[in-house]
Amino acid sequence: MKYLTEFRNGEIARALAREITQITTRPWKIMEVCGGQTHSIIRNGIDQMLPSAPGASVEMIHGPGCPVCVTPLELIDKALAIAALPGVIFCSFGDMLRVPGTDSDLFQVKGRGGDVRVVYSPLDAVDLAVKHPDKQVVFFGVGFETTAPANAMSVHLAKRRDLKNFSLLVSHVLVPPAITAILQSPGNQVQAFLAAGHVCSVMGYWQYPPIAEKFGVPIVVTGFEPLDLLEGIRRAVVQLEAGRHEVENAYSRVVTFDGNQAAQKLLAEVFEVTDRAWRGIGVIPNSGWRLNADYREFDAEERFHITGIHTQESALCRSGDVLRGIIKPAECAAFGKECTPRHPLGATMVSSEGACAAYYNYGRFLSAEELAGAGSALTGAANG
């Protein structure tokens, strides 16, 4: 398939890995923001192809770019409470159903008789509201800027159709404030970023140059295939070695500087910027969207007024440290033991973009030191 197979060429991947090794003279730490990129890196062994010598290495740090993972526990518990109400059809994408709340998840609510449905688009939920005027239909609107336009369109259509039985439970978070928060955090070690190509396909990358300039970090807009990621890493290392801090677009077949102007116009019509709590991280100022005053009637939190939520994270789960890039998933003592995809303690083990799920699914049970040793061996083989 065009734009897939040609970006999975093993010979070119090995050549890019060799070039990265040849130009690397110092230890560098690069964060891929997006969970989809994390899965591609782990699935394809890209991190193990990178140089790992003590004085000249490239370490990939997995960022908080998994929207399911950073949805706050309080909002998950509100979703569970709303989904359990009589007369409610609660709609969500499939990867939200097993995200653990304090005491249960959406699958368990469904098993107890709640009308919980997996849909493929928020517009499917709008259609359900039309077909079931006697029910309150709620869609769980989770995601970064990528999924926000479709959610904005759902409430736009609901308002045009004067639907009184449709609402959106909103948990939208934004990438640029998250990058800023990471760079401002005590002990930050991230020296460059791979920006998520699908986010930038909607928003462009006009927001990133001020961040790169202020904090002196290279930012490379990157896709998701192996060659996309290796080229993004190569460009980041070139900048780091030269002492530059610019924004580069390594995903020009999809991304433009200005992004999708029609989508941005719709987002501005429906949403307004707000502070958001990120699960495992805390509140990041101006890092999310909520429905603005013109569309507030479609806000499920306003409509159902769920109160008395008392949340409690698992004492064993270190998903917050994983999301902040402090540890790798296998460094959590519960990883692969008390916490597995069948019995997850945190959202990072459930989501299709969660770092813990990536490490578990692709057999990464080694410590950071063991991974570094494996990387050294593979790098040597690539150079041989």
Summarised one tens digit per residue, pLDDT across range 321-343 is: 898 888 899 999 999 999 998 88
Does residue 99 surpass a pLDDT of 90?
no
Neighbours of 149 (CB within 10 A): 20
CATH topology of domain 68-174+259-304: Rossmann fold (3.40.50)
DSSP readout, 32-55?
Answer: EEEHHHHHHHHHTTHHHHS-EETT
Give the pLDDT band (50/70/90) at residue 129: very high
Q: Specify whether the CB–CB gap between 154 and 270 falls below 8 A.
A: no
Choose the CATH number for 5-66+179-255+366-383 among 2.60.40.420, 3.40.50.12780, 3.40.50.11750, 3.40.50.300.
Answer: 3.40.50.11750
Q: What does the pLDDT read at residue 307?
A: 74
How far apart, in whole angstroms, are the C-alpha atoms of residue 156 and residue 132?
19
Residue closest to 137 by CA, chosen among 124, 148, 150: 124
- Tens of pLDDT, residue by residue over 152-174, are 999 999 999 999 999 999 999 99
pTM over 0.85, yes/no: yes
Does residue 177 surpass a pLDDT of 70?
yes
DSSP readout, 301-338?
Answer: HHHH----------SS--HHHHHTTSS-GGGSTTBTTT
Q: What does the pLDDT read at residue 241?
A: 98
One-letter amino acid for residue 79 of the chain:
A
Q: Residue 236 burial by CB count (10 A; 0-12/13-18/19+): exposed, middle or buried?
A: buried
How far apart, in whole angstroms, are the C-alpha atoms of residue 241 and residue 277?
36
How far apart, in whole angstroms, are the C-alpha atoms of residue 363 and residue 215?
36
Does residue 219 surpass a pLDDT of 70?
yes
Give the tokens for residue 381: 């083989």
Per-residue pLDDT averaged across 291-310, rounded? 90
The percent of residues above 70 in pLDDT, for the chain, comes to: 94
Q: Specify whether the CB–CB gap between 68 and 95 falls below 8 A.
A: yes
User: What is the phi/psi pair of residue 279, to 5°?
Assistant: -60, 130
Per-residue pLDDT averaged across 73-97, rounded? 94
Does residue 104 surpass a pLDDT of 60?
yes
How does strand 166-173 pair with strand 192-196?
Answer: unpaired
110-124, 131-145, 154-168, 298-312: range with lowest mean pLDDT: 298-312
Domain positions in the chain: 5-66+179-255+366-383, 68-174+259-304, 319-361
Please tell me whether residue 31 adopts helix, strand or coil conformation.
strand
Does residue 112 surpass a pLDDT of 80?
yes
Q: How many CA atoms, within 13 angstroms, populate the side-chain half-sphere of residue 287?
A: 23
Q: What does the pLDDT read at residue 372?
A: 54
Q: What does the pLDDT read at residue 321?
A: 87
Give the pLDDT band (50/70/90) at residue 369: low
340 vs 98, residue with greater confidence:
340
CA-based torsion, 203, 206, 212, 217: positive or negative: positive
225 vs 65, residue with greater confidence:
225
Please tell me whether residue 141 adopts helix, strand or coil conformation.
strand
